[in-house]
Structure 1
Amino acid sequence: MDRITLTGLRVRGNHGVFDFERRDGQDFVVDVTLGLSLTHAAATDDVADTIHYGELASQLAAVIAGEPVNLIETLASRLVDICLADKRVAEATVTVHKPQAPIPHTFNDVSVTLHRRSSDTVARP
């Protein structure tokens, strides 16, 4: 399986469980890896035959900057759904980094990573 990877997409969002996180916002950094066949795109040399990573970045950024959620797990799930919406994508891995998480200790990063296949069915409560 071939891969398209987008790393370090930094977007300001207002996600978190605390009022000040939703009020003030913070930067979220997202890494995405898509698994799909790129054979046809390589043969045709046509952007229409692949995932346009600029358009994907814009779609992801809109979700990150959009409706606030409490958990980065929820945010990651919404982002992976965007990635899998294109039927050519067989699997997607999304990591959401929250480097400014309100932790009262010195740390480098907090992140959540989800890996889903297009064939997965996710049970939602």
Structure 2
Amino acid sequence: MEHVAKTRDRITLTGVRVRAHHGVFDFEREAGQEFVIDVSVAVDLAAAASGDDLARTVHYGELAEAISAAVERDPVDLIETVAERVASVALAFPAVEEVEVTVHKPQAPITVPFTDVAVTIVRGRA
């Protein structure tokens, strides 16, 4: 049986900023806040690079727009749920083999001084 190595090629979007209304508290749902999304997708980039062919990779502009739309819609309680939603959107791109998503919530309602709170998930094709 042939062993297929996991691709090490990645396309990364860092700091995608989206205003949305996620959170457990009513004031979070009403006022909304900024969420910051980092996404790194594993894609075999060799074919795209050798043929200089956009169709053989992931258009990162379209990926960014899809991520933004996914975060903006349907408020949920947990950033974990937002991360799962973003992962599903990224995996819908045919070239994506795996995705790592970090959702930052820098204005989280925490009573002690902090810089950021975030969750990170990694998902791949089944």
TM-score class, shorter-chain normalisation, is over 0.9
Letter paired with 1:48? A
> Are positions 1:6 and 2:13 aligned together?
yes
Question: 1:111 is matched with which residue?
Answer: 118
Q: Give how far 1:87 is off.
A: 2.5
Question: 1:100 is matched with which residue?
Answer: 107
Q: Give how far 1:65 is off.
A: 1.2
Q: Alignment identity in percent? A: 55
Question: 1:33 is matched with which residue?
Answer: 40
Q: Provide the rounded CA distance (Å) in 1 between the counterparts of 2:85 and 2:30.
A: 21
Question: 2:3 is matched with which residue?
Answer: none
| Runs of 4+ deviating beyond 3 Å | none
Select 1:56's aligned residue among 63, 67, 82: 63
Letter paired with 1:53? Y
Q: 5+ residue gaps in structure 1?
A: 120-125
Q: Provide the rounded CA distance (Å) in 1 between the counterparts of 2:59 and 2:95.
A: 12
Letter paired with 1:47? L
Q: TM-score, normalised by structure 1?
A: 0.92
Question: Radius of gyration: which is bigger?
Answer: 2
Q: TM-score, normalised by structure 2?
A: 0.92
8 Å CA contact 2:10–2:40 kept in 1: the answer is yes
- Give the secondary structure class of the aligned counterpart of 1:10: strand
Question: 2:52 is matched with which residue?
Answer: 45
User: How many residues are treated as equivalent by the alignment?
Assistant: 119
